Chains A and B, each alone.
Chain A
Amino acid sequence: MNGNMKGDDIPCNAIVADELTHWYGELVAVDHISFNVAEGEILGFLGPNGAGKTTTIRMLTGQLKPKAGKATLLGIDISKNVDRVQGDIGVCFEETNLYEQMSATENLRLFARLFGMHRFDCDALLERVGLGGRGKDRVETYSKGMKQRLMVARSIINRPRILFLDEPTVGLDPTSAESIRNIILQERERGATVFLTTHDMMEADKLSDRVAFMNQGKIVALDTPHNLKQQHGRRALKAKISTNSGKLEDREISLDTAETPDAIHELFSREQVVTIHSEEASLKDIFIKITGRELE
């Protein structure tokens, strides 16, 4: 993990949310959430639609003032000095918001000028997101995947220290989604902190150093995927055995009990095992276990 470190190799916090709260009328969208994201870390922010993920991003990026609590980015209180931090962040929105009547190059050059980047290699950036050779085409002629890749390119134009990505791969074809995941990992390698909201558990598991589960405006769990699986998941062996009558039956042996060795021994000595594999709880299972609801 890159990024600035404090004295004893403790990474500085790039993002600190302290009792962050926002409501729309009667609806509490974000309810007193607190968390830190270290520099160079990828935090996966998971939750179903309406859980409060986008509202959290909007508060963290200064688009929305928190009704209560505060947030600091790189040590700066964004409610008071958002202008001091905007040059260091990049935001990729969930919905496409590009200038569609302009070309990709024009879109990127406009934002480069807004960030005060006078030396900016537009072609290299387009190449990096897989849009090489299409820079002069108007964005309105792009597919959804191409637009999303351009959105990601726009969000990293200023080499941000903190990158906010709101559902960057939702609705994309596997190739475009994989291309965006690679860019996220490259940005982390560069030293950027990544705040990633998604409801794709596989994606979060693959990319995130830590994940936060958000449900009904609250963070209900926050840890590394590994720890969450250990704390809340259940490991098991799943086997298919052939009975005397020739039928196939399923057997499941928990791997976390004292009787596990004996149960495995018994399975292999007494039964005719056709297939066997280990199974680890997924983040999806854990989310359902903790919140009692599905992600979609």
Chain B
Amino acid sequence: MMNPHIISALVSKDLSLFFRNRFIAVITVLGIVAYLGMYFAMPGSVDETLEIAFYAPVIPPVFNQMKDSGLELRALESERAVKEAVKKGEYLSGIVLPTELMQKLVAGQKPTINLYFGPDVPVESKEAVEALVTELLYLQSGKQVALSITEHILGPDLVGKQISLRDRIRPMFVVFLVMFETFGLANLITEEVERGTIRALLVTPMSIKDLFVAKGITGICLALSQGVLFMAIVGGMNARPLVMLVALFLGAVLATGVSFIVATMARDFMSVLGWGVIVFIILIIPSMSVLFPGTVSGWIRAIPSYYLIETVHQATNFRASWHQVGSNLLTLLGIDLVLIWVGIAALRRKAR
């Protein structure tokens, strides 16, 4: 039977000790400030000008006359140069016209046009470029022409939307903040064992269950409050507040479970830092999947924080519904339960 008075006494003690550890307190506050600073320093909007590279052995005059607002066509020296530039992300797409284009147009034959796109160019943009090519060649020939257009995706094909860099980086920052609590809570637990205060607690009417519940509440409160604060400031709670709250809560539980395991392995503050950094680096790897879509392999799903990052990304940037992120949240919940159970079992063993 758990005792709420004992648990609340332990939680207030832990919160008080957390903020009296100057290193952890300063790092926590600096973390929030730094991530907010970096977030607001990122470009907040996407450049609307469509920059398109093209290569044609004989440039149709109409391509040179194209000076529409919001559209920039730039001729490159070869098809290879076009592909390289698009691959590097310098242009939204590349258009390669065949050598015999003009002759075919005159003869009423069907020329083949190659279009090159980057991995996460949205379908709408691809359609716009296709329409542009058709329109330009119509203008050039003065009649409707039949075209054979082939699309090439340079890199993995992503059907996505354009998201500003700072919105892409938002899930990463929030996961940084939530997971950073692994250090703070693991250190609180390790100090309890290292300084022997846990022995003093265990000879009072407090049960070991009270102790773990109190530690869990402390960890979840610290991680959740920072996550919510950050997301509230950067507008991440606006799209799907409930989904976000649940995701952050499950993230906070994940951080708590991980910190229990780190505390089991660590003996003192330095080893908390050592083990914590290793775990922290592993946990933030999945944020690459949001920053660089399509560049990470499937194994990344084996990292528990993937489901948190993916949910935060989907909910904030694409207004994903419960239905769309439900499987992520359920997976995260399952992982949380396993980690908390393993963490408590290991800590109980250590405490004894």
Check: B201 CB closer than 8 A to any chain A CB. Answer: yes
Known: A93-B196, A110-B9, A113-B5. A101 touches B17 (CB 8 A): yes
Task: Say yes or no: A101-B20 contact (C-beta < 8 A), given A83-B205, A113-B6, A115-B204.
Answer: yes
Asked if B337 is at the interface of the complex by the 8 Å CB criterion, the answer is no
Whether the pair A97, B9 counts as a contact (CB closer than 8 A) is: no
Min CB distance A29 to B, Å, is 16
B189 to chain A, nearest CB (A): 14
Q: Are A86 and B16 closer than 8 Å at their CB atoms?
A: no
Q: What distance in Å separates the Cβ of B319 from its nearest Cβ neighbour in chain A?
A: 45
**What residues of chain A lie closer than 8 Å to B205, measured between beta carbons?**
83, 86-87, 114-116
Given A87-B205, A93-B196, A97-B197, the answer on whether A114 and B9 have CB atoms closer than 8 Å is yes
Q: Tell me if B207 is interfacial: C-beta within 8 Å of chain A.
A: yes
Q: Which residue numbers of A lie inside 8 Å of B, CB to CB?
A: 61-63, 83, 86-87, 89, 91, 93, 95-102, 106, 110-111, 113-116, 154
Report A193 CB to chain B, min CB distance, Å.
16
Q: Answer yes or no: B203 CB below 8 A from chain A CBs.
A: yes
Contact B203 A89 (CB under 8 A): yes
A-B contact sample (11 more), CB < 8 A, given A87-B205, A115-B204: A61-B203, A86-B203, A91-B200, A93-B200, A97-B195, A98-B200, A99-B13, A100-B195, A113-B5, A116-B5, A116-B205
Judge whether A97 and B6 touch: CB under 8 Å. Answer: no
Task: Name B1-49 residues within 8 Å CB distance of A.
Answer: 5-6, 9-10, 13, 16-17, 20-21
B281 interfacial contact with A, CB 8 Å: no
**How far is the CB of B117 from the nearest CB of chain A, in Å?**
58
Which chain B residues border A99 with CB–CB below 8 Å? 13, 17, 195, 197
Contact among B196, B199, B206 with A114 in the assembled complex (CB-CB below 8 Å): B206
Decide: A102 and B16 in contact? CB cutoff 8 A.
yes
B204 in complex: contacting residue of A86, A93, A96, CB < 8 Å: A86
- Asked whether, in the complex, the Cβ of B202 is within 8 Å of the Cβ of A63, the reply is yes
CA distance A170 to B205 in the complex (A): 28
Interface residues on chain B, size class: 20 to 34
The dominant DSSP class at the A interface is loop
Chain A: CB-nearest residue to B8: A113
Q: Which of B9, B21, B197, B199 is within 8 Å of A63, CB to CB?
A: B199
Chain A residue at smallest Cβ distance from B198:
A97
Q: Does B199 lie within 8 Å of A97, measured CB to CB?
A: yes
Measured CB to CB, the residues of B under 8 A from A are: 5-6, 9-10, 13, 16-17, 20-21, 195-197, 199-207
Most buried by B among A61, A93, A98, A99: A99
Which residues of B sit under 8 angstroms from A61, Cβ to Cβ? Answer: 203
Instruction: Across the interface, name the chain B residue whose C-beta is closest to A111.
Output: B204
A102, B52: Cα distance in complex, Å: 64
Considering the chains assembled together, what is the distance between the CA atoms of A93 and B197 in angstroms?
A: 10
A92 nearest in chain B by CB position: B200
Contacting residue for A97 out of B16, B200, B207, CB 8 A:
B200
A88 to B280 alpha-carbon distance, docked (Å): 44
Q: Are B204 and A114 in contact (CB under 8 A)?
A: yes
Q: CA A78 – CA B207 in complex, angstroms?
A: 14
Listed A/B pairs (7) with beta-carbon separation below 8 Å: A63-B203, A89-B203, A97-B197, A97-B200, A99-B17, A110-B13, A113-B5
A-B pairs with the 9 shortest C-beta distances?
Answer: A97-B196, A113-B9, A114-B204, A101-B20, A91-B203, A87-B205, A86-B205, A97-B197, A97-B200
User: Are the C-beta atoms of A95 and B196 separated by less than 8 Å?
Assistant: yes
In the docked arrangement, what's the CA distance between A59 and B5, Å? 27
A88's nearest neighbour on chain B, judged by CB, is: B205
Inter-chain contact B21/A93, CB cutoff 8 Å? no
Give A94's nearest chain B residue, CB to CB: B196
- Judging by beta carbons under 8 Å apart, are B6 and A102 in contact? no
Cβ-closest chain B residue relative to A91: B203
Q: In the complex, what distance in Å separates the CA atom of A98 from the CA atom of B17? A: 12
Interface centre among B17, B20, B21, B197 (most CB of A within 10 A): B197
- Which residues of the other chain, A, contact B20 by a CB distance below 8 angstroms? 101-102
Contacts of B196 in A (CB 8 A): 93, 95-97
Are B195 and A83 in touch, CB under 8 angstroms? no
Q: Write out the residue numbers on chain A whose beta carbons fall within 8 Å of the beta carbon of B199.
A: 63, 93, 97
B6: chain A residues at CB < 8 Å are 113-114
A181 to B20, CA, bound (A): 34
Query: In this complex, which of A93, A113, A154 has the most chain B Cβ atoms within 10 angstroms of its Cβ?
Result: A113
Q: Which residues of B contact A115 (CB under 8 A)?
A: 204-205
Which B residues touch A95, using CB under 8 A? 196
Bound form: Cα–Cα A150–B20 in Å: 21
Q: Which residue of B lies closest to A138 (CB)?
A: B20
Cβ–Cβ < 8 Å partners of A102 in chain B: 13, 16-17, 20
Name the residue of chain A whose CB is nearest to the CB of B19: A101
